[in-house]
Amino acid sequence: MGTGSNQMWGGRFAGGPSAVMREINASIPFDKALWRQDITASKAHVAMLAAQNIVSAEDARTIDGGLDTVAAEYEAQGVPEDWDLEDIHMTVEARLTELVGPVAGRLHTARSRNDQVATDFRLWVREALERADAGLEMLQRALVTRAGEHADSIMPGFTHLQTAQPVTLGHHLMAYYEMIRRDRSRLADARARMNESPLGSAALAGTGFPIDRDATAQALGFEGPTRNSLDAVSDRDFAMDYLMAAAQCSLHLSRLAEEFVIWASQPFGFVRLPDALSTGSSIMPQKKNPDAAELVRGHAGRMVGAVTALMMTMKGLPLAYSKDMQDDKPPVFEAASLIDLSIAAMTGMVADATFQTERMRQAAELGYATATDLADWLVTQADIPFREAHHITGAAVKLAEQRGIALDALSLEDLQAIDARLDARVFDALSVDASVAARASYGGTAPDQVRAQVARAMADLEMDT
């Protein structure tokens, strides 16, 4: 080896890399996060090499023990960051060599860093995906629990953020349950698709050694080996699938977060946020700010940025591995910590928020939210076509608005002056309770329908009812 050249691949180099080359080349500052996966995959690889008589049982035992020692060191002291060793794969191997000597060099038989990084990263992403899924299940449990408590709590339902029709808080919360259910289904799809082992694809073309790819796939919990070595070493779909599912989930979380920001504002006053997830102001003592919710809302932007970053990295890359692909990790690592935090913050917020149900109910009663019920009454009780009923109702709302009173505070004489077909029974339809109870179509806001949604969700989650 030339002086100062790389100890792993420096055989044909006369001199070492420049300072810029060392720095731009190094992925160890971020890919050290893969150390557990790297060691796990190496242990599976060397066990297979021994089983196939590619290395001796004794050498394999030495290497395996050495890898355990490296793992224990990293666990206790962290991973050292030497730019000359470029990445986690070479860092582990270099330390293994220090520990067990030249026999360490047998570990890299029938393997390349290209299939190694593809394998390690898949293992890491699979874990991140499972962590997100477990977090989302907790969020679902919190949503279902609160929805069950509030199946009868009336609030205004909005379109255009204008009071539209009364709904129940339970119904509103279960809407988010459904979004999270789809997020979890996307994560499950992504997991099923990614669960193939690239190990043994080697640099790009496979290997001449008699390896057993099924064995390493099985040892690492994959369904089986990937089918095409060129694809396997250059595929990052698994990371994009995870990022896209997580980004879409973060959009849902940002919507829920925004609801809390709005609901916690003084003019709304629908919710008191948990102290544990709010902050005060250094100058305005009365303030309790929804910072956690605002950050969840903000993180969705960074999540979408991460998806975009990885997609742009992969765009136009010819087969097989290109060094651009080393840039795949920072956006995934960033997105994974953002989504984990966002899920945890929203779970705490849903579980511990104090809903101001009296205030919500008053807001529902204020905004002429039962105008549709008046129109529906005219259709069902007076056999008036809906369009005409809508017009009559509009006149009633206008009158109530002029007087500054609720719809059901108009007198029977007032109503009959608008349309003689209205009679006293209509007042039964104008309360917010009657309004939500009437919306008993499947998936509707009637408390019984909400309870049915909650019961089904609890069964899906195997929760005790």
Using CB under 6 A as the criterion, which residues of the chain lie in contact with ligand ARG when the complex forms?
27, 31, 86-87, 113-114, 117, 321, 323, 325-326
Q: What are phi and psi of 6, to 5 degrees?
A: -65, 135
Considering the complex, state which of residue 206 and residue 274 has its C-beta at the smaller distance from ligand ARG: 206
Residue 454 CB, shortest distance to ligand ARG, in Å, is 46
Which DSSP helix (H) or strand (E) runs through 377?
Answer: helix 371-382
Q: Does the active-site annotation cover 281?
A: yes
Cα 297 to Cα 246, 294, 465, distances in angstroms: 14, 5, 32
Look up residue 237 and give its amino acid.
Answer: D
Q: Which one of the listed residues 185, 265, 281, 337 is annotated catalytic?
A: 281
Number of H helices, E strands in the chain: 19, 6
Residue 114 CB, shortest distance to ligand ARG, in Å, is 5
Per-residue tokens: 168: 């129940």
Measured between alpha carbons, how far is 459 from 148 in angstroms, rounded to an integer?
13
Is residue 10 within 8 Å of residue 1, measured between CB atoms? yes
Residue 178 CB, shortest distance to ligand ARG, in Å, is 38
For every residue of 250-267, DSSP letters joined together read HHHHHHHHHHHHHHHSTT
Look up residue 126 and give its amino acid.
Answer: R
Task: Say which DSSP state 328 is in.
Answer: G
Is residue 295 within 8 Å of residue 261, measured between CB atoms? no
Residue 278 CB, shortest distance to ligand ARG, in Å, is 40
Considering the complex, state which of residue 313 and residue 347 has its C-beta at the smaller distance from ligand ARG: 313
Which DSSP helix (H) or strand (E) runs through 415?
Answer: helix 412-418
**C-alpha R_g of the chain:** 31
Considering the complex, state which of residue 312 and residue 459 has its C-beta at the smaller distance from ligand ARG: 312
Q: Which one of the listed residues 160, 282, 411, 441 is annotated catalytic?
A: 160
Considering the complex, state which of residue 242 and residue 321 has its C-beta at the smaller distance from ligand ARG: 321
Residue 182 CB, shortest distance to ligand ARG, in Å, is 32
Considering the complex, state which of residue 117 and residue 410 has its C-beta at the smaller distance from ligand ARG: 117
- On the 0-12 / 13-18 / 19+ scale of CB atoms within 10 A, 23 is exposed
Q: Does the active-site annotation cover 160?
A: yes
User: What does the H/E/C string look like for 145-198?
Assistant: HHHHHCCCCEEEEEECCEEEEEEEHHHHHHHHHHHHHHHHHHHHHHHHHHCEEC
Residue 34 CB, shortest distance to ligand ARG, in Å, is 9
Catalytic residues, by residue number, are 160, 281
